[in-house]
Amino acid sequence: MSVFAPLNGRAKLLLALFVVGLAAAPIAADRYLLSVLILIFYFAYLGQAWNIMMGFAGQLSLGHSLYVGLGAYVAAALWTKFGIGPWAGMFAGMAVAMAFGAAIGWLGFRFGIAGVYFALLTIAFAEFTRIAFDHMDWTGRAGGLFLPVRAEQAHQWWNLRGGPLLFYYLALALMLGALWLCATLRAARIGHYWLAVREDEAAARALGIDVFAVKMKAVLISSAMAAVGGTFYAFYYNNLFPAQIFDMSRSIEMILAPIVGGLGTLIGPILGAFILTPLGEGLIAATEEAGLSAPGTKAVFYGLALMAIVWVAPSGVWPWLRRKLGLETP
Amino acid sequence: MTLKTSVSRRAVLAGAAAGSAALAAPAIVSAQAGTLRIGVLLPRSGLLAQAGQSCHRGALAAPRVLAELGYRVELVHVDTESNADIARTQAERLINDGAHVLTGAFDSGHTLAIAQVCEQRQVPFVVNIAAAPPITEQGLKFLVRNFQTGPQLVTNGLRLINNLIAATKIDPKRAVFLHANDTFGQAQRNAMDAIFPRTNMPFQLVESIAYDPRAQDLSVEVTRLRSLRPDLVLVVTRASDAIKLVRDMVRQRFEPMGIVSPGSPGMYDEEFYQALGPLADFHVSNLPWVNPKSAMTQALERSFAATNPGNRFAADGFNAGFTFEALLIAADAFKRAGTTSGVPLMEAIRATNLTEHVMIGGPIRFDEKGQNPNIGSACVQNRGRMPVVVLPEDSATMAPVLPMPGWQGRT
């Protein structure tokens, strides 16, 4: 647990209880709650992937839906066209996403495209990939790619065919695996390099850090992680549409959890997902209960809640909560 | 009208380390005895809001008509926010809340997300609108679709173009197919590519042009159209791009014999009429439509006027009609099955045989895949800023007019 050194004993205990609680949750949770928890884990996982780019290395990407979409499409297409299972397809998806990530990184970092201009570059890549997939026969063009749902494959975990429990534990494993990976990376030399680059790139370069290589590692790891999330998405929903999976709104959804939870922190993306997804679901139920049936009512309250959260905890909820609960190391 | 019993919820602590966040985990609530509880999942906000709200207005008008017919239903309306994640979680919540049947979801992706939940939980799902063929090709046992697939829409749409040509005595030689490059548009393009060569149409399809529905204008596409000199422009649009298309045609003074949609929304939407005024007239949409001569349609129209005083049934007929029929199918099956239990209720739904309904076509029945093969199509022409059935003759209230009058001098 040395990778979790920034957390004190009480925080580690809470984290352990949290993990045990989630592992045991299906015993008591109903189907609806499980489906919400799956979404929470999914967004927490993707939040961690994006957090490596922005939270650790300080590179603003607003096109992460590109990597999710590529991971989803590559794995799904290999499965539907050649019968190649999702576990192998996942690695192919990671490779393709990393290739795109490398191209974006090389263009951005080699030519000094930084800040919002780098963000625009990531959006542009996601957008032209969406348009390309809209015209690709092999993946169903804009009409979508549908994964067959066969009764005889209902319980084949190795093909990611199964019920909510399979996807629950898979999503939980993804979230916890991402937490461990991010903690490991941040505690390693590369993590310190990322933080140095994030805080002052010129100073980091002056200290002899290979800034280009460090940033490239961030984009490669982040894109690979996002692609794994895409594979999960494809086999959970069993249909893909370029307009939906590559859409910029998906990128925005992805970055909300780490921003609200605490950018650059380990627990922030998880906490953010645990706040935002239930908030959305709760508001649907609450507005329904209150008889507020006008379309978009929930979105108004959701926006207000987001504003309130940012107002109370401008650096993210986790740093604020950590102080309040005394979970920091002295 | 939404009838809804109060649902108590238990707050669930989510995330021990993170503090608590209240999750609305609903208790199962039984509907009133003898009442079928139907969850209606529609995209009433977000990208698909216009169509979703149109469907919703049909659902609001439904209970009164169903009550008149002796059916007892209770509807729970949920906005999927044009988001598959929400569609899936809300399907789970509705079933937890005691919904016996789900209907929706307009979008094919959302529909499949909901269908997986229904399949696992053995709750019937009656699809109101969703055109992707794979929906009924997956072997789903708890799903039926009372809507045409993309290929069916195109097949019927093209057949009706022949009827339209015969009825108006026009002689088109060339046509161009212009379609939005979105999920629906692409599905229609695929169907067109496969079906058109087999239909022996009296005109040549000189080109198919895809456009990005998010484009600011369609001037480039219209310039290309003009250069191809088509007599007929066949379109697959949504309302916003149909408006852009007509405006650019007027700007470039391009006047074909007619603009005909072989099965898509756009040109009969209220937004289209409001934006274009007299320029919205004379365009033709070939698609399933409410039968204006059916007594049930007339009853639905009266109820629609009462529940949606700010909207015209004529413009909402397609979405409202199919949404009503989905509810009718569920209610009728419940009456026959005498139970809300999923398996027998689904058996009753699959055994549906409704001769009296609102959409043009034969009796509502479902084949072994859960698809209704008897849905008809109509030529719907815009006349006086209203969609009017002009073919088939037994449902028509006006005769079709083509070639369309020029853009200039319309009132």
Chain B residues within an 8 Å CB radius of A151: 139
Provide the b/e sequence for A251-277 (b: ≥16 CB within 10 Å): bebbbbbbbbbbbbbbbbbbbbbbbbb
Q: State the DSSP code for B181.
A: -
- Interface check for B178 against chain A (CB to CB < 8 A): the answer is no
Residues in B touching A280 (Cβ below 8 Å): 86
Question: Which candidate, B147, B135, B128, B150, places its Cα nearest to that of B57?
Answer: B128
For residue B22, list chain A residues with Cβ-Cβ distance below 8 A: 278, 282
Helix pair angle (B108-121, B84-96), 10° resolution: 30
Q: Which residue of B has its CA nearest to A297?
A: B45
Query: At CA B113, angle to CA B106 and CA A252, rounded to 5?
Result: 90
Q: Which of B21, B96, B181 sits opposite A31 (nearest CB)?
A: B96
Measure in Å the smallest separation between the Cα of A53 and chain B Cα atoms.
23
Residue type at position B367: D
Q: How many CB pairs under 8 A join A and B?
A: 161
User: Residue B195's closest CA among B230, B147, B150?
Assistant: B150
Contacts of B4 in chain A (CB under 8 A): 288
Closest alpha carbon to A317 in B27, B131, B17, B280:
B17
Rounded Cα–Cα distance for residues B17 and A15 (Å): 6
The answer to whether residues B80 and B47 touch, using CB atoms and an 8 Å cutoff, is no
Q: A278 vs B132: CB contact, 8 Å cut-off?
A: no
Inter-chain CB proximity A299 and B81 less than 8 Å: yes
Predicted TM-score (pTM) above 0.75: yes
**pLDDT computed for residue A176 by the predictor:** 97
Residue window 31-90, chain B: list those with CB within 8 Å of chain A: 44-45, 49, 52-53, 77-79, 81, 84-86, 88-90
| Widest Cα–Cα separation across chain B | 75
CB contact under 8 A, A18 and B17: yes
Residues of B in contact with A18 (CB under 8 A): 15-18
From B260, B244, B349, A84, select the one nearest A93 (Cα to Cα). Answer: A84
Angle between helices A9-28 and A164-187 (to 10 degrees): 170
Name residue A210's amino acid.
D
Nearest to A257 by CA among A283, A240, A275, A284: A275
Tens digits of residue pLDDT in A222-280: 999 999 999 999 999 999 999 899 999 999 999 999 999 999 999 999 999 999 999 99
CA of B167 vs chain A CAs: smallest distance (Å): 34
Which residues is B73 bridged to in the sheet? B36
Q: How far apart are CA B316 and CA B385, in angstroms?
A: 13
* pLDDT value for A324: 86
| Number of C-beta neighbours around residue B284 at 10 A | 31
The pairing of strands B378-382 and B101-104 is: unpaired
Element (H, E) at A244: helix A242-245
Give Cα A143 distance to the centre of its chain: 26
Return per-residue pLDDT of chain B as tens, 411 residues.
333 433 333 332 233 333 333 333 333 344 445 899 999 999 999 988 989 999 999 999 999 999 999 999 999 999 999 999 999 999 999 999 999 999 999 999 999 999 999 999 999 999 999 988 899 998 899 999 999 998 888 889 999 999 999 999 999 999 999 999 877 788 788 889 989 998 889 999 999 999 988 888 899 999 999 999 999 999 999 889 999 999 999 999 999 999 999 888 889 988 999 999 999 999 999 999 999 999 999 999 999 999 999 999 999 999 999 999 999 999 999 999 999 999 999 999 999 999 999 999 999 999 999 999 999 999 999 999 999 999 999 889 999 999 999 999 887
A23-59 core/surface letters (b: 16 or more CB in 10 A; e: else): eebbeebbbbbbbbbbbbbbbbbbbbbbbbbbbbbbb
Compare CB distances from B138 to A35, A37, A149 and report the shortest one's residue: A149
User: Cβ contact (<8 Å) for A143 and B190?
Assistant: yes
Phi–psi pair at B333, nearest 5 degrees: -65, -40
The tokens describing B263, both together, are: 């099965």
State the burial class of residue A137 (Cβ atoms within 10 Å of its Cβ: 0-12, 13-18, 19+).
exposed
Q: What is the pLDDT of residues A59-72, one digit of tens each?
A: 999 999 999 999 99
Residues 360-379 of B with CB under 8 A from A: none
